[in-house]
Homo-oligomer: A and B are copies of this chain.
Amino acid sequence: MVVGFHLIVDFHTVSTSILMTVRPMRKILEEGVRRGNLTKISSSYHQFQPYGVSGIILLAESHLSVHTFPESGLVTMDVYSCGEDAEERVKNTVNYILGEMGGVVSLWKEVERG
């Protein structure tokens, strides 16, 4: 029984300054959740020293996670949604984030969960 759609994406960006601190990342991720018509329950961010961000958003539909590696311009992200239109909602979120960050994808893995 398939319960949801999970998309795992790694990408690189030349906009490494975005990846360094929580504030710009939070703005893009939370807008991505809205663009995908997903429902935020809570979110948690961590600032690594000297730079780097982890962010997790707990969704009514499942979750979104991002971990940044500014030293190499790398972002590892995953977005997982259960419920109706899961694939469309996940892809709308991921594509918005990729567009905002100028991401060049190195890994794109789609997993049906359940």
Q: Which residues of A contact B (CB under 8 A)?
A: 1, 3-4, 6, 8, 10, 41-42, 44, 46, 54, 56, 58, 60, 62-63, 65, 67, 69, 72, 74, 76, 78, 80, 82, 106-107, 109, 111, 113-114
Contacts and interface: CB of A to CB of B under 8 A. Distances in A.
B82 A67 contact: yes
Interface of chain A, helix or strand or loop or mixed? strand
A1 B72 CA distance: 9
Nearest to A67: B62
A10 B46 CA distance: 27
A109 to B, nearest CB: 6
28 contacts: A1-B72, A1-B74, A3-B76, A4-B76, A6-B8, A6-B76, A8-B8, A10-B113, A41-B46, A42-B44, A44-B44, A44-B56, A46-B58, A46-B60, A56-B58, A56-B65, A62-B67, A62-B76, A63-B67, A65-B65, A65-B80, A67-B80, A74-B114, A76-B80, A76-B114, A78-B78, A106-B114, A109-B111
